[in-house]
């Protein structure tokens, strides 16, 4: 009987869209899927730090959701545009590569954007445009890592629905983002036949989509 593969959750950056990861975490925990490693970038690192300090259970995901409901834009972006954009642009984190280097064999990717769904609504402010651009850059880097490291570990990319095009600086829709991500991840996990206690074929990457 094969042992459980060393599992990592990789949580990308994305400012307010980090609320999506809360729903994904709840869906994973409800299926009994937990992480041996938690690797995050930016807001993903904050989410990872929260769950790392507690039991990996649905109750922890619900507690994180309550934290997100109380977050406002001023809490996340108290600095000037130059400071925020400069600080984020200076990051060189590549969380999938870090997970691989730490020995992960199965990696669940909790991204904050769907590469197949380009942004339709234009940013409203200079800060929106700066954060949006940085989020796109981080998303592109994540996609590159999926292609590269899919040869070294089993990668499972969860859906990141954002049908109403919430901007990364808009913290008024955290509950909605969490709920839709939870439903999408729950349905995708339930509909996938690849989730078992033995890895997929070596060098595989699975991008899940919501069922229905």
pLDDT digits (tens, 9 = 90+) for 160-192: 999 888 888 888 999 999 999 999 999 989 876
Question: Tokens 């309550």 identify what position?
Answer: 66
Average pLDDT for residues 124-129, to the nearest whole number?
A: 69
Task: Report the SS3 class of residue 182.
Answer: helix
- The pTM for the full model equals 0.80
pLDDT digits (tens, 9 = 90+) for 38-63: 999 888 999 999 999 999 999 999 99
- Residue ranges in 150-208 assigned as alpha helix (H): 174-191
The CA-atom distances, in angstroms, between 174 and each of 18, 42, 62, 112 are 8, 17, 13, 12
> Which residues are bridge partners to 107 per DSSP?
8, 155
Question: Tokens 């200076």 identify what position?
Answer: 90
| pLDDT at position 204 over 70 | no
Question: Which pLDDT score, from 0 to 100, does residue 74 have?
Answer: 57
> Which residues are bridge partners to 157 per DSSP?
109, 207
Q: Which long-range contacts (CB under 8 A, 24 or more apart) does 93-97 make?
A: 93/13, 93/41, 93/42, 94/141, 94/145, 95/10, 95/11, 95/12, 95/39, 95/40, 95/41, 95/44, 95/142, 95/145, 96/10, 96/39, 96/142, 96/145, 96/146, 96/149, 96/155, 97/145, 97/148, 97/149
Average pLDDT for residues 101-115, to the nearest whole number?
A: 89
Cβ neighbours around 103 below 10 Å, total: 11
Q: Is the dihedral of CA 38, 102, 168, 189 positive or negative?
A: negative
Question: Tokens 């570990």 identify what position?
Answer: 153
Question: Tokens 């990789």 identify what position?
Answer: 10
Average pLDDT for residues 25-48, to the nearest whole number?
A: 94
Average pLDDT for residues 87-93, to the nearest whole number?
A: 47
Report the candidate in 112, 110, 111 with the shortest Cα–Cα distance to residue 25: 110
Average pLDDT for residues 190-210, to the nearest whole number?
A: 52
């Amino acid at each position: 009987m094969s042992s459980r593969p060393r599992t990592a959750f990789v949580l990308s950056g994305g400012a307010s869209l980090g609320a999506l990861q809360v729903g994904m975490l709840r869906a994973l925990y409800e299926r009994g899927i937990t992480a041996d490693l938690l690797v995050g970038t930016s807001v993903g690192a904050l989410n990872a730090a929260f769950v790392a300090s507690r039991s990996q259970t649905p109750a922890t995901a619900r507690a994180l959701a309550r934290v997100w409901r109380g977050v406002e834009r001023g809490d996340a972006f108290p600095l000037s545009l130059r400071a925020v954009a400069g600080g984020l642009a200076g990051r060189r984190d590549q969380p999938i590569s870090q997970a691989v280097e730490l020995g992960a064999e199965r990696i669940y990717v909790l991204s904050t954007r769907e590469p197949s769904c380009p942004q339709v609504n234009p940013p409203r402010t200079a800060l929106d445009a700066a954060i949006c651009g940085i989020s796109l850059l981080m998303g592109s880097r994540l996609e590159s890592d999926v292609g590269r490291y899919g040869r070294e570990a089993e990668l499972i990319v969860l859906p990141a629905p954002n049908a109403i095009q919430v901007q990364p600086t808009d913290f008024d829709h955290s509950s909605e983002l969490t709920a839709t991500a939870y439903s999408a991840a729950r349905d995708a996990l339930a509909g996938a036949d690849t989730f078992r206690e033995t890895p997929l074929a070596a060098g595989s990457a699975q991008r899940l989509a919501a069922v229905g």
